[in-house]
């Protein structure tokens, strides 16, 4: 069953955050419909806050089971047994004579059987210890070729990370003819990833600008840490399929959170072949969003 609340704020993001704080839910667990955009007015006159409708799923209530009907016989009061004024006494039973104990002849234990208990009792073997699994070996990166574009990217990122007071180490490698991949290794990589990968995107943007600002041929640079890009893509595909299921079920449009161009491309590509669903983007950077809309396709 789907429920919703309507919240307001100075901006759409503030209105959404107010709803998430009230519901104690994550952003991926709700769907947002923008009802009104914020208006600034003139000198504060005529201003109005942004209004959003945040929908979320709750489990359907279980129907109460009807109480079993009582039969006429079960409604009648049960008759109590008459109480005895004096408890009945049983006469004592006669004692039976005890049979004489049979005397068994004493058997001498032969000397061969008089072995020490330690010799007869089998010794318990200690449980076998299973060999512990060896820890996964760290990934080994090939050194970059001196004077190559990979070396230029590594040198730039080393200087950038030093300015950021980070101990992360960049490893550049050639993915294909038009792309150079960079993997950041080290400790405390969460700070290099940032909220929803914002810091990682900024580092990647700077690396692309430093490599291509005066180059005749553009080479794309992708920066990753702890396989964040792959995990984020899988999370976006799951979110896209979940929103598409809601759109086809309730037949109403769903507006997603602001995303960068690459993340919007993942949403569009995931739902490209989905029946009765279409996608388009609204807004301006950096608050551009994807709208998942219901579209009834004509029957062939």
What is the per-residue pLDDT across 104-128, written as a single tens digit (0 to 9) for each? Answer: 555 555 554 454 544 555 555 655 6
- Between 3.40.50.10490, 3.10.20.30, 3.30.1370.50, 3.60.15.10, what CATH number should domain 229-294 receive? 3.30.1370.50
Per the CB < 8 A criterion, the answer to whether 79 and 48 are in contact is no
Residue extents of the structural domains in the chain: 2-57, 149-226, 229-294
Tokens 């995931």 appear where? 270
149-226 and 229-294 share one fold? no
Per the CB < 8 A criterion, the answer to whether 289 and 282 are in contact is yes
pLDDT (0 to 100) of residue 86: 52
* 44 — pLDDT class (breaks 50, 70, 90): low
Residue 76 has pLDDT above 70, yes or no: no
Q: Greater confidence, 110 or 92?
A: 92
pLDDT (0 to 100) of residue 185: 94
Q: Phi and psi dihedrals of 67, rounded to 5?
A: -70, 140
Report the predicted TM-score, pTM, of the whole model to 2 decimal places: 0.53
CATH code given to domain 149-226: 3.30.300.20
Residues 6+ apart with CB under 8 A from 50: 8, 9, 10, 11, 12, 14, 15, 34, 36, 37, 38
């Amino acid at each position: 069953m789907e429920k919703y609340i309507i919240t307001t704020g100075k901006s759409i993001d503030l209105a959404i955050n107010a709803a998430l704080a009230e519901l104690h839910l994550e952003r991926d667990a709700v769907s947002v419909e923008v009802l009104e955009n914020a208006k600034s007015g003139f000198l504060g006159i005529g201003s109005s806050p942004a209004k959003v409708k945040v929908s979320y799923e709750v489990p359907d209530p279980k129907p109460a089971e009807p109480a079993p009907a009582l039969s006429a016989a079960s409604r009648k009061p049960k008759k109590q047994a008459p109480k005895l004024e004096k408890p009945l006494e049983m006469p004592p039973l006669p004692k039976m004579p005890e049979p004489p104990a049979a005397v068994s002849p004493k058997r001498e234990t032969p000397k061969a059987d008089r072995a020490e208990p330690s010799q007869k009792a089998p010794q318990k073997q200690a449980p076998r210890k299973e060999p512990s699994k060896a820890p996964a070996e760290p990934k080994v990166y090939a050194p970059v070729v001196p004077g190559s574009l990979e070396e230029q990217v590594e040198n730039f990122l080393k200087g950038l990370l030093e300015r950021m007071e980070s101990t992360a180490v960049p490893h550049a490698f050639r993915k294909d003819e038009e792309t150079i991949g960079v993997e950041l290794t080290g400790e405390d990589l969460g700070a290099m990833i940032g909220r929803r990968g914002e810091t990682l995107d900024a580092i990647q943007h700077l690396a692309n600008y430093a490599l291509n600002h005066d180059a005749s041929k553009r080479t794309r640079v992708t920066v990753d840490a702890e396989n964040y890009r792959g995990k984020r893509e899988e999370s976006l595909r799951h979110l896209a399929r979940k929103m598409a299921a809601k759109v086809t079920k309730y037949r109403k449009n769903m507006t997603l959170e602001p995303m960068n161009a690459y993340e919007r491309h993942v949403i569009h590509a995931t739902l490209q072949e989905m029946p009765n669903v279409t996608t388009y983007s609204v807004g301006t950077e950096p608050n551009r969003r994807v709208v998942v809309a219901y579209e009834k396709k004509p029957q062939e």
